[in-house]
Chain A
Amino acid sequence: MNERQSPSDMPWRNGSEPFVRIVDVSRSYGPVVAVNNVSLDIYKGELFCLLGSSGCGKTTLLRMLAGLETVSSGRIEIDGQDMAGISPWDRPTNIMFQSYALFPHMNVERNIAYGLYRDGLPRSEVTDRVADMIKLVQLSGMERRKPDQLSGGQRQRVALARSLIKRPKLLLLDEPLAALDKKLREETQFELVNIQEKLGVTFVVVTHDQEEAMTLATRIGVMRNGVIEQIAEPREIYEYPLNRFVADFIGSVNMFEGVVSETDPDRTLIRCEDADMTINVSHGVSCSPNQRLWFALRPEKPEISRHRPENADNVVEGVVEEIAYRGNLSIFRVRLKTGKQIDLTRTNQERSAEEPITWDDPVFVSWDAASGVVLTS
């Protein structure tokens, strides 16, 4: 998604006016703080993902945007309008519930038309718009069915159609694909993006599935314990996580704990005891001397070889302990002399290698000085 636009098109980079402003918003239930002082700007036409594990406050934040949950403190603005005191039925938002919440006593057509009739639109216009929407979500022929006569995927489409039909300024989706099986989920992800681009509606999607967030989002907000840990584009979140939590939550990562032994603007050395090595990093780190920090290395970055590579910035010796064959790639788990394990992945480009690296082989793991991230928290 982010690669289809040139950088200056991205409103969060060129100083555009945000479409949704969430300013210092908190929500507490008695002593429990579900959302803690969150500030967030969302721009027009964005597909913003709130990502986090269950109970992190992402759904509460979404429900506050819809007006289904009151804001304990702070302010929410949508399209320049303060949402304080505005009831859900008067808000320019629509929400798609995780359970879909389709009206079981109404057929597909009437479920989708529900919002339009509430606006007092004439029957002929409602019929036309519902017919268009049914075509868009590919539910033709299902108009007269009740929700319990539909499959999970069809119900998901009805829910989407029902929340889109009023052309909301902001569409909120709570785990929109969670109830679908893997194959259908992948197909639907792309459909969702297509629909979003076709209609130009701003989407806010809540999900716990990091792959889903990466596929869908223009930007991702990673939440934990009611706090947003990082807001960034998918690539940035993956390659430049701000802290250990984000690095660990998005994808998998090898974490090295160490102490800075030397740092200048284009080089840092980290003494890492648990791997018994000094890690070369190609940039400076602003930190106090002898500060404890972490070096995060994604499993696809390092190389694995039988012979000690020349000119490598970082090399460490180990033994292949585990190989997991995944078809498109293989995961190697290498145990270092210190007992620390490093996971790394290789794409299986060739159908059969001459002399494949196998279990218990002594190997060298090496990586470039620019391929990891230094984290201070």
Chain B
Amino acid sequence: MGRSRLRFLGRRVRRGADVMTTAVGSFFMKHRRLLVIAVPMVWLLIFFLAPFLVVFKISFSEAAMARPPYLPLTSWEDGRLLITLNLGNYQFLLEDPLYLLSLISSVQIAAVSTIFALLIGYPMAWFIARSPSRRRNILLMLVILPFWTSFLLRVYAWIGILRSTGVINNTLLALGIIDEPLVMLQTNFAVYIGIVYTYLPFMILPLYANLSRLDPALLEAAADLGAKPATTFLTVILPMSLPGIIAGSMLVFIPAIGEFVIPALLGGPDTLMIGKILWTEFFNNRDWPVASAVAMVLLAIIVLPLVRFRRARG
């Protein structure tokens, strides 16, 4: 009894001294985590959640010739607050096959581009990860270097390369390999090239981060136990780099699915992508509610699998 009381007293004295000398400091110490998180939280709240809610709200309103071009959800009538949720926008998306088709087409284009980015990016990431450390930084720099030029300029450069009087066609014509210029621009082919080219670094960087941490002794162990290089790849490298593959694929697939600029500049009239539809609804048709509904559906398509994936892993 007496001992525990003494200890209790001692603790109280010490705590008292703490409070006296560092009252302000201890507040910061206690809430340090909160303070660190607060800044990005507020940022996300203002610039992500708020616009999201605005778009979410607009998707339930009715289009109108007004400014802004939609009717408010709430109205005041005879002392009653009326909330009108217009589900017609979503219904419209189901009725007009254009939206479903362009959604499917977007998923397909994004998926194919992701696969190609993976097939090209994986060997590059592997090569960089296995390079001597001096050369590694230079190679990584080269991967990131294109970001220092305007994205639009780089897409325009592809127009110069792909068009019928472009670099490729001129070269092939001059060499006599073809008689007529190949039609490459304004096709889905050009869109694939544009997306893979633009998003390749997003595939390489997480793969590199993953592969550079792979212990080379594991590869030697596999070889020593009788695995030929291909088997080592399938049984050790591939399963161990799965997190990198998934991260890289997400980073390519998600922005690619809603891509607007690349299909607009490189794609043709047949290129159906949901980003382009969204643009048209918003700026050409000035139908903000339908455009918002499209945006919401797109978001759901991207976020729901992500949530499910996270749950499956964790």
Contact = CB atoms under 8 A, between A and B. Distances in A.
Nearest to B229: A89
Given A104-B240, A105-B239, A105-B240, A93 B218 contact: no
Interface in A46-71: 66-68
A118 B225 contact: yes
B305 interface: no
Interface in A18-74: 66-68
A68 B226 contact: no
Given A89-B228, A118-B231, A101 B217 contact: yes
Interface in A90-138: 91, 93-95, 97, 99, 101-105, 114-115, 118-119
B240 A115 contact: no
Main secondary structure of the interface of B (DSSP, over half): helix
B223 A68 contact: yes
Nearest to B227: A118
A167 interface: no
A19 B220 CA distance: 24
Given A101-B220, A105-B239, A118-B231, A94 B225 contact: yes
A104 B235 CA distance: 12
A87 B240 contact: no
A101 B221 contact: yes
Contacts of A309: none
A166 B223 CA distance: 13
Nearest to A110: B235
Given A99-B215, A104-B240, A105-B239, A119 B226 contact: yes
A138 B177 CA distance: 69
B236 interface: yes
A162 interface: yes
A253 to B, nearest CB: 37
B223 A89 contact: yes
B270 interface: no
Contacts of B221: 95, 97, 101-103, 162
A66 B223 CA distance: 10
A162 B226 CA distance: 12
B179 interface: no
A68 B224 CA distance: 8
A153 interface: no
Interface string B200-244: 000000000000000101101111111110010001100110000
Given A89-B226, A89-B227, A162-B225, A114 B235 contact: yes
Contact of B217 (A89, A97, A114, A119): A97
Contacts of B239: 105
Contacts of A91: 224
A163 B217 CA distance: 14
Contacts of B227: 89, 114, 118
B225 A166 contact: yes
Contacts of B235: 114
B57 to A, nearest CB: 46
Contacts of B226: 89, 115, 118-119, 166
A299 interface: no
A103 B215 CA distance: 10
Contacts of A94: 224-225
A255 B220 CA distance: 44
B225 A114 contact: yes
B224 A66 contact: yes
Nearest to A119: B226
B231 to A, nearest CB: 7
B224 A93 contact: yes
A116 to B, nearest CB: 9
28 contacts: A66-B224, A68-B220, A68-B224, A87-B228, A89-B223, A89-B225, A89-B227, A89-B228, A93-B224, A95-B221, A101-B215, A101-B218, A103-B218, A103-B221, A103-B236, A105-B239, A114-B222, A114-B227, A114-B235, A115-B225, A115-B226, A118-B226, A118-B227, A118-B231, A162-B221, A162-B225, A163-B225, A166-B225
